[in-house]
Structure 1
Amino acid sequence: MYESDFGFEVHVAKSRHVSEEDFPFPPENLWDRPVEEIMFWLHKEQVWLNGCTLVPIGLSRDGEDFDFATPQEAADFLKDLQNEGYLVPDTVIDVLEGDLC
Protein backbone atom coordinates (compact mmCIF):
# COMPACT_ATOMS: atom_id res chain seq x y z
CA MET A 1 0.00 0.00 0.00
CA TYR A 2 1.40 3.38 -0.99
CA GLU A 3 0.40 6.76 -2.37
CA SER A 4 1.23 7.57 -5.99
CA ASP A 5 0.20 9.98 -8.74
CA PHE A 6 -2.76 7.64 -9.34
CA GLY A 7 -4.00 7.76 -5.76
CA PHE A 8 -3.65 5.16 -3.06
CA GLU A 9 -2.34 1.87 -4.45
CA VAL A 10 -2.96 -1.51 -2.87
CA HIS A 11 -1.20 -4.63 -4.18
CA VAL A 12 -2.62 -7.80 -2.67
CA ALA A 13 -0.12 -10.62 -2.24
CA LYS A 14 -0.86 -13.83 -4.14
CA SER A 15 1.40 -16.14 -2.16
CA ARG A 16 3.13 -16.47 1.19
CA HIS A 17 6.41 -17.91 2.40
CA VAL A 18 6.16 -21.16 4.35
CA SER A 19 9.03 -22.71 6.27
CA GLU A 20 9.52 -25.24 9.02
CA GLU A 21 12.17 -22.89 10.43
CA ASP A 22 11.16 -19.87 12.49
CA PHE A 23 11.73 -16.50 10.86
CA PRO A 24 15.04 -15.00 12.09
CA PHE A 25 13.75 -11.77 13.62
CA PRO A 26 16.52 -9.19 13.90
CA PRO A 27 17.15 -7.18 17.07
CA GLU A 28 15.22 -3.98 17.68
CA ASN A 29 16.63 -0.82 16.12
CA LEU A 30 18.55 -2.84 13.54
CA TRP A 31 19.00 0.20 11.29
CA ASP A 32 20.82 2.04 14.09
CA ARG A 33 23.45 -0.70 14.39
CA PRO A 34 26.80 -1.06 12.57
CA VAL A 35 26.54 -1.86 8.88
CA GLU A 36 28.20 -5.26 9.41
CA GLU A 37 25.42 -6.28 11.79
CA ILE A 38 22.75 -5.00 9.41
CA MET A 39 24.28 -7.04 6.56
CA PHE A 40 24.48 -10.13 8.79
CA TRP A 41 20.74 -9.96 9.51
CA LEU A 42 19.80 -9.20 5.92
CA HIS A 43 21.81 -12.23 4.81
CA LYS A 44 20.18 -14.38 7.49
CA GLU A 45 16.75 -13.26 6.29
CA GLN A 46 17.65 -14.01 2.66
CA VAL A 47 18.85 -17.52 3.57
CA TRP A 48 15.52 -18.09 5.33
CA LEU A 49 13.55 -16.81 2.32
CA ASN A 50 15.54 -19.01 -0.06
CA GLY A 51 14.61 -22.05 2.02
CA CYS A 52 10.90 -21.27 1.98
CA THR A 53 8.18 -22.63 -0.23
CA LEU A 54 5.80 -20.13 -1.81
CA VAL A 55 2.20 -21.23 -1.45
CA PRO A 56 -0.97 -19.52 -2.69
CA ILE A 57 -2.85 -17.57 -0.05
CA GLY A 58 -6.09 -18.94 -1.47
CA LEU A 59 -8.39 -15.97 -0.98
CA SER A 60 -10.50 -14.14 -3.57
CA ARG A 61 -8.26 -11.13 -4.25
CA ASP A 62 -4.84 -12.81 -4.38
CA GLY A 63 -2.45 -11.02 -6.73
CA GLU A 64 -4.81 -8.17 -7.61
CA ASP A 65 -4.03 -4.44 -7.68
CA PHE A 66 -6.40 -1.66 -6.65
CA ASP A 67 -6.36 2.17 -6.84
CA PHE A 68 -8.33 4.47 -4.54
CA ALA A 69 -8.87 8.22 -4.76
CA THR A 70 -8.92 8.89 -1.02
CA PRO A 71 -7.20 7.52 2.07
CA GLN A 72 -10.57 6.57 3.58
CA GLU A 73 -11.51 4.49 0.53
CA ALA A 74 -8.20 2.65 0.83
CA ALA A 75 -8.73 2.15 4.58
CA ASP A 76 -12.22 0.75 4.03
CA PHE A 77 -10.86 -1.66 1.42
CA LEU A 78 -8.07 -2.80 3.73
CA LYS A 79 -10.67 -3.49 6.42
CA ASP A 80 -12.54 -5.64 3.89
CA LEU A 81 -9.30 -7.52 3.19
CA GLN A 82 -8.82 -8.09 6.93
CA ASN A 83 -12.37 -9.39 7.25
CA GLU A 84 -11.72 -11.80 4.38
CA GLY A 85 -8.64 -13.18 6.14
CA TYR A 86 -5.72 -11.22 4.69
CA LEU A 87 -3.07 -10.03 7.13
CA VAL A 88 -3.25 -6.23 7.16
CA PRO A 89 -1.56 -4.29 9.97
CA ASP A 90 -4.02 -2.14 11.91
CA THR A 91 -1.46 0.66 11.94
CA VAL A 92 -1.74 1.03 8.15
CA ILE A 93 -5.47 1.58 8.46
CA ASP A 94 -4.94 3.93 11.42
CA VAL A 95 -2.55 6.08 9.38
CA LEU A 96 -4.95 6.23 6.43
CA GLU A 97 -7.77 7.25 8.76
CA GLY A 98 -5.57 9.94 10.28
CA ASP A 99 -5.38 8.33 13.71
CA LEU A 100 -1.56 8.21 13.74
CA CYS A 101 -0.70 11.38 11.84
Structure 2
Amino acid sequence: MSYCRWSCLGGQSDLYAYADVHGGVTLHISERRRVLTPDVPEDPTADMISGKISHQEWADLYKARSQAVDKCKLEAIGLSRDGQGFNLDFEEAANLVADLRKEGYVIPEGVEDDIRADMEEETE
Protein backbone atom coordinates (compact mmCIF):
# COMPACT_ATOMS: atom_id res chain seq x y z
CA MET A 1 0.00 0.00 0.00
CA SER A 2 1.35 3.43 -0.84
CA TYR A 3 0.96 6.42 1.43
CA CYS A 4 1.76 8.84 -1.38
CA ARG A 5 3.19 8.76 -4.88
CA TRP A 6 5.01 11.30 -6.99
CA SER A 7 1.70 12.83 -8.01
CA CYS A 8 -0.90 11.96 -5.39
CA LEU A 9 -4.46 12.52 -6.60
CA GLY A 10 -3.28 14.78 -9.36
CA GLY A 11 -1.26 17.01 -7.06
CA GLN A 12 2.46 17.08 -6.61
CA SER A 13 4.57 15.13 -4.17
CA ASP A 14 8.31 14.99 -3.69
CA LEU A 15 7.90 11.66 -1.91
CA TYR A 16 6.92 8.14 -2.82
CA ALA A 17 6.19 6.24 0.38
CA TYR A 18 4.81 2.74 0.84
CA ALA A 19 4.51 -0.09 3.33
CA ASP A 20 7.18 -2.51 2.15
CA VAL A 21 6.36 -6.22 1.77
CA HIS A 22 9.72 -6.94 3.42
CA GLY A 23 8.82 -4.82 6.45
CA GLY A 24 8.74 -1.20 7.49
CA VAL A 25 8.12 1.75 5.24
CA THR A 26 10.15 2.59 2.14
CA LEU A 27 10.61 6.24 1.23
CA HIS A 28 11.97 7.56 -2.07
CA ILE A 29 12.66 11.29 -2.19
CA SER A 30 12.65 12.98 -5.57
CA GLU A 31 15.52 15.05 -6.92
CA ARG A 32 13.32 17.19 -9.16
CA ARG A 33 9.78 18.53 -9.29
CA ARG A 34 7.53 19.99 -11.94
CA VAL A 35 7.10 23.76 -11.96
CA LEU A 36 3.41 24.11 -12.71
CA THR A 37 2.35 26.89 -15.03
CA PRO A 38 -0.88 28.90 -14.59
CA ASP A 39 -2.53 27.08 -17.51
CA VAL A 40 -2.47 23.68 -15.73
CA PRO A 41 -6.09 22.79 -14.95
CA GLU A 42 -7.16 22.18 -11.37
CA ASP A 43 -7.25 18.60 -10.16
CA PRO A 44 -10.80 17.30 -10.77
CA THR A 45 -10.63 14.51 -8.18
CA ALA A 46 -12.49 16.34 -5.41
CA ASP A 47 -15.35 17.08 -7.84
CA MET A 48 -15.61 13.41 -8.77
CA ILE A 49 -15.54 12.30 -5.12
CA SER A 50 -18.26 14.82 -4.24
CA GLY A 51 -20.40 13.68 -7.18
CA LYS A 52 -20.22 16.99 -9.07
CA ILE A 53 -18.80 15.20 -12.12
CA SER A 54 -19.03 11.66 -13.43
CA HIS A 55 -16.17 9.19 -13.57
CA GLN A 56 -15.95 9.69 -17.32
CA GLU A 57 -15.82 13.48 -16.95
CA TRP A 58 -13.12 13.03 -14.32
CA ALA A 59 -11.11 10.75 -16.64
CA ASP A 60 -11.26 13.31 -19.46
CA LEU A 61 -10.33 16.23 -17.18
CA TYR A 62 -7.61 14.25 -15.42
CA LYS A 63 -6.08 13.24 -18.75
CA ALA A 64 -5.99 16.88 -19.87
CA ARG A 65 -4.42 17.91 -16.55
CA SER A 66 -1.81 15.14 -16.75
CA GLN A 67 -0.86 16.18 -20.28
CA ALA A 68 -0.45 19.79 -19.15
CA VAL A 69 1.63 18.76 -16.12
CA ASP A 70 3.87 16.59 -18.32
CA LYS A 71 4.74 19.70 -20.37
CA CYS A 72 5.87 21.63 -17.29
CA LYS A 73 9.56 22.08 -16.69
CA LEU A 74 11.39 19.86 -14.19
CA GLU A 75 13.69 21.68 -11.78
CA ALA A 76 16.06 20.45 -9.09
CA ILE A 77 14.49 20.63 -5.64
CA GLY A 78 17.77 21.61 -3.99
CA LEU A 79 17.15 20.37 -0.44
CA SER A 80 19.28 18.12 1.77
CA ARG A 81 17.63 14.75 1.08
CA ASP A 82 17.14 14.96 -2.70
CA GLY A 83 17.37 11.56 -4.37
CA GLN A 84 17.72 9.60 -1.14
CA GLY A 85 15.87 6.44 -0.24
CA PHE A 86 15.15 4.77 3.08
CA ASN A 87 13.55 1.67 4.55
CA LEU A 88 12.60 2.50 8.13
CA ASP A 89 10.32 1.22 10.84
CA PHE A 90 6.94 2.95 10.96
CA GLU A 91 7.79 5.45 13.70
CA GLU A 92 11.09 6.48 12.10
CA ALA A 93 9.38 6.83 8.72
CA ALA A 94 6.59 9.02 10.12
CA ASN A 95 9.15 11.21 11.88
CA LEU A 96 11.27 11.54 8.74
CA VAL A 97 8.22 12.48 6.66
CA ALA A 98 7.42 15.23 9.19
CA ASP A 99 11.04 16.45 9.02
CA LEU A 100 11.02 16.43 5.21
CA ARG A 101 7.83 18.51 5.19
CA LYS A 102 9.39 21.04 7.62
CA GLU A 103 12.44 21.28 5.37
CA GLY A 104 10.29 22.22 2.39
CA TYR A 105 9.54 19.02 0.51
CA VAL A 106 6.04 18.88 -0.99
CA ILE A 107 4.18 16.02 0.70
CA PRO A 108 0.40 15.52 0.88
CA GLU A 109 -1.19 16.19 4.25
CA GLY A 110 -1.88 13.18 6.43
CA VAL A 111 0.96 10.92 5.29
CA GLU A 112 2.59 10.83 8.74
CA ASP A 113 -0.77 10.14 10.37
CA ASP A 114 -1.46 7.25 7.99
CA ILE A 115 1.96 5.74 8.70
CA ARG A 116 1.42 6.07 12.46
CA ALA A 117 -2.03 4.48 12.16
CA ASP A 118 -0.49 1.51 10.39
CA MET A 119 2.23 1.36 13.06
CA GLU A 120 -0.50 1.01 15.70
CA GLU A 121 -2.11 -1.81 13.69
CA GLU A 122 1.29 -3.57 13.45
CA THR A 123 1.71 -3.52 17.24
CA GLU A 124 -1.81 -4.82 18.01
TM over 0.5: yes
Query: Do the aligned partners of 2:45 and 2:58 also contact (CA within 8 Å) in 1?
Result: no
SS in 1 for 2:38: coil
User: Could you say which residue in structure 1 is the equivalent of 2:68?
Assistant: 48
Give TM-score, length-normalised by structure 2: 0.66
Is 1:17–2:34 an aligned residue pair? yes
Aligned pairs, number: 99
Give TM-score, length-normalised by structure 1: 0.79
User: How far, CA to CA, are the matches of 1:36 and 1:97 in structure 2?
Assistant: 35
Residue 57 of structure 2 is aligned with which of 20, 23, 37? 37
What RMSD in Å do the two structures reach over aligned CA positions?
A: 2.4
SS in 2 for 1:16: strand
SS in 2 for 1:72: helix
Return the structure number with greater relative CO, CA threshold 8 A, min gap 6. Answer: 1
* 4+ residue runs over 4 A deviation: none
Q: Give ranges in structure 2 of 5+ residues lacking alignment.
A: 1-16
Percent of aligned positions that are identical: 31
